[in-house]
Amino acid sequence: MSQTVTLIPGDGVGPEIAAVVRTCMTALGADIEWDIQDAGAAMIEKENTPLPDRVLDSIRKNRIALKGPVETPVGKGFRSVNVRLRQDLDLFACVRPCKYYEGIHSRITAPEAIDLVIVRENTEDLYAGIEFMNTCGEEAPFLKFLKEQQGIVLGCDTGISIKPISISGSERIVTFAFEYAKKNGRKKVTAIDKANIMKFSDGLFMQAAEDISHKYPEFAYEHKLVDNMCMQLVQYPEKYDVLVLPNLYGDIISDLAAGIIGGLGVAPGANMGDDVAVFEATHGSAPDIAGQNKVNPTGILLSTVLMLRYMELTGAADRLEQSIAAVIKEGRHVTADLKPAGSPEPPVGTREMGNAIVEKINAL
Ligand code: NAD
């Protein structure tokens, strides 16, 4: 029986990369129906919201979505679509695999061995949005509380962001990381934080990770401090497998890891909850190249591979991934960002790269 997936093409280059996904999925013969839903900047003019309720209803019904990038309107009073999706659907885990594909330029000396998955907590930490303006007197009850109850005096020029990390939130994300490791044949989980300095927040995450690790004795488990981890990922990325982190460190380490495998243009991602998952490329709407047939479709296609694996359509996932890898390795039919400087052949467009991938799918 065919499965229905919500497809949100999104803004900017979104419709171009969504079209490539649809062409590849037709070639794969995957038994998937698309429920196409518009969200993003264009919807503000039409419906006065970037995320109409019917888009959320569609995802709730189908449980799986593939999403193109959407613009975050600056200073227009609308909540970010991405933040709303995460909050309203309780997508508490951000999953970013970082695997090197031969043919992509990396600054790392032996990138072939890089095959990491970053699991980032998506709801807590300094991104919870609990912030205080730098005002004084009666208007700053928090500064007053700190002074009166804790003896800590902060000047009126101090801004404050609060970092909430809970045992339940930490246990949930670490359990997710081990379960992901189990389903995806991974061997090791590394929990990362700065527990030596922030004992009450990161210390609690570290303890929760340690406790949960005892339930999964079949996996190697280790703990690392985030500053050391940054250096480790640049020097020895091949030593790492699944990484689990609180929100802020996860955000930063995800981009660092994307950088060592060739950049955001080739990095896939997903936001997941207990039984809803939204897959998306990690790059933005790239307005500077929108509508020009220049965008690299690899990020969204690799996100589609993740989606197919999640749907247990393993054969289709393998064929798609092998076809993308083959086109990148040959290096002939790839977009400009994947062409090395001084390459004798010109780059191809988004559609043409998609067609080259379809040829490989048909040949497999
Ligand atoms: P961006 O990722 O859109 O673009 C940064 C640069 O990288 C641009 O020069 C762009 O042309 C290039 N680029 C990005 N993806 C590429 C690809 N696949 N192929 C070739 N080149 C690519 O980042 P930005 O300019 O900071 O953001 C633009 C808009 O996208 C903003 O409104 C932002 O809020 C939004 N955004 C959305 C998401 C999302 O929906 N997940 C993520 C990031 C940014």
Closest alpha carbon to 99 in 217, 262, 247, 252: 262
Distance of CA 298 from the midpoint of ligand 1 (Å): 14
Closest alpha carbon to 3 in 35, 28, 27: 35
Q: From residue 21, how far is each of 53, 139, 205, 273, 284 by CA, in Å?
A: 25, 52, 38, 23, 17
Share above pLDDT 70 across residues of the chain, in percent, rounded to a whole number? 97
Q: What is the mean pLDDT of residues 278-301?
A: 96
Cα angle 56-316-58, degrees, rounded to a multiple of 5: 10
The pLDDT score that the predictor gives to residue 343 is: 83
**Alpha-carbon gap, residue 188 to 289, rounded angstroms:** 39
The pLDDT score that the predictor gives to residue 110 is: 85
Tens digits of residue pLDDT in 101-152: 999 988 888 899 999 999 999 999 998 888 876 666 666 777 888 888 999 9
Residues 290 and 240 grouped into a single domain = no
Q: What is the token pair recorded at 152?
A: 């800590």
Residues 234 and 197 grouped into a single domain = yes
DSSP 150-177: H-----TT--EE-----HHHHHHHHHHH
Domain membership flag for residue 242 = yes
Residues 46 and 18 grouped into a single domain = yes
Question: How large is the angle between the packed helices 298-310 and 314-330, nearest 10 degrees?
Answer: 160
Distance of CA 292 from the midpoint of ligand 1 (Å): 14
pLDDT of 331 higher than 70: yes
The pLDDT score that the predictor gives to residue 76 is: 65
Tens digits of residue pLDDT in 35-69: 999 999 889 888 989 999 999 999 999 999 999 99
Q: How confident is the model at residue 85 (pLDDT cuts 50, 70, 90)?
A: very high
Do 187 and 178 form a contact (C-beta atoms < 8 A)?
no
Residues 257 and 268 grouped into a single domain = no
The pLDDT score that the predictor gives to residue 139 is: 64
Cα angle 198-248-205, degrees, rounded to a multiple of 5: 45
Domain membership flag for residue 193 = yes
Do 193 and 202 form a contact (C-beta atoms < 8 A)?
yes
Among 227, 236, 274, 329, the one annotated catalytic: 227
Q: What is the token pair recorded at 157?
A: 């020029």
The pLDDT score that the predictor gives to residue 342 is: 81
The pLDDT score that the predictor gives to residue 133 is: 67
Asked if 221 is an active-site residue, the reply is no
Residues 279 and 245 grouped into a single domain = no
Split into its structural domains, the chain has a count of 3
Q: From residue 274, how far is each of 119, 166, 185 by CA, in Å?
A: 14, 18, 20
Residues 5 and 79 grouped into a single domain = yes
The pLDDT score that the predictor gives to residue 138 is: 60
Domain membership flag for residue 98 = yes
Q: What is the mean pLDDT of residues 236-241?
A: 96
Instruction: Report the SS3 class of residue 364.
Output: coil
The domain in which residue 146 lies consists of 127-161
Residues 184 and 227 grouped into a single domain = yes
pTM: 0.93
Burial (0-12, 13-18, 19+ Cβ within 10 Å), 323: buried
Domain membership flag for residue 119 = no
Domain membership flag for residue 215 = yes
Element (H, E) at 36: strand 32-36
The atom number, within ligand 1, closest to the CA of 72 reads 34
**Alpha-carbon gap, residue 295 to 350, rounded angstroms:** 6
| Alpha helix (H) residue ranges in the chain | 14-28, 41-47, 53-62, 81-88, 141-150, 167-183, 202-213, 226-235, 247-260, 298-310, 314-330, 350-363
289 lines ligand 1 (CB under 6 A): yes
251 lines ligand 1 (CB under 6 A): no
Residues 171 and 195 grouped into a single domain = yes
Asked if 183 is an active-site residue, the reply is no
Asked if 227 is an active-site residue, the reply is yes
Residues 198 and 245 grouped into a single domain = yes
Share above pLDDT 90 across residues of the chain, in percent, rounded to a whole number? 77
Q: How confident is the model at residue 218 (pLDDT cuts 50, 70, 90)?
A: very high
- Tokens 């490539």: give the residue: 20
Domain membership flag for residue 120 = no
**Alpha-carbon gap, residue 279 to 21, rounded angstroms:** 12
The pLDDT score that the predictor gives to residue 157 is: 80
Q: From residue 30, how far is each of 4, 22, 60, 155, 184 by CA, in Å?
A: 11, 10, 22, 61, 21
Distance of CA 75 from the midpoint of ligand 1 (Å): 18
Domain membership flag for residue 244 = yes
**Among 118-132, 178-192, 290-304, whose mean pLDDT is lowest?**
118-132
Tens digits of residue pLDDT in 252-274: 999 999 999 988 889 999 999 99
Q: What is the mean pLDDT of residues 293-304?
A: 97
**More confidently predicted of 128 and 202:** 202
Average pLDDT, the chain: 93
Do 270 and 307 form a contact (C-beta atoms < 8 A)?
yes
